[in-house]
Amino acid sequence: MEDNALPVLAYAGPDAEVLFLQTLLEQADIDCSVDMPIPGTRSLARREARLFVAQADVDAAAPIIADFRQNGVKSSF
């Protein structure tokens, strides 16, 4: 596997935010993958969903993720 294909953690957060960000990245032709927490585990601290992009796509994904962090997250509905 080439180093540029290795996944890099790009964002971690609530499930809905990660899935929405995945949609934004895929619309920009940036391949990404999501690692969702497994519901029903007995862990006291539920981890957040995680979104990964290939090392080669980090620079292309960075402005989209930064814009999402600044404008896309709603504190209440």
CA–CA gap between residue 65 and residue 49 (Å, rounded) = 15
Q: Which residue has the tokens 């090392």?
A: 55
Give residue 44's pLDDT.
Answer: 55
Q: Total domain count for the chain? A: 1
Mean pLDDT value across residues 48-77:
87
Judge whether 76 lies within some domain. no
Domain that includes residue 58, residue range: 3-38+46-68
Judge whether 54 lies within some domain. yes
pLDDT 10s digits, 18-50: 999 999 999 999 999 999 987 765 655 578 999
Q: Looking at residue 32, which CATH number applies to its domain?
A: 3.30.70.1530
CA–CA gap between residue 68 and residue 12 (Å, rounded) = 12
Judge whether 52 lies within some domain. yes
What does the longest C-alpha to C-alpha distance in the chain come to?
A: 43
Judge whether 19 lies within some domain. yes
CA–CA gap between residue 36 and residue 14 (Å, rounded) = 9
The structure's pTM equals 0.80
CA–CA gap between residue 30 and residue 23 (Å, rounded) = 10
Give residue 37's pLDDT.
Answer: 85
Phi (first) and psi of residue 12, to 5 degrees? -135, 135
Whether the predicted pLDDT of 76 surpasses 60: no
Judge whether 22 lies within some domain. yes
CA–CA gap between residue 59 and residue 63 (Å, rounded) = 8
Give residue 4's pLDDT.
Answer: 72
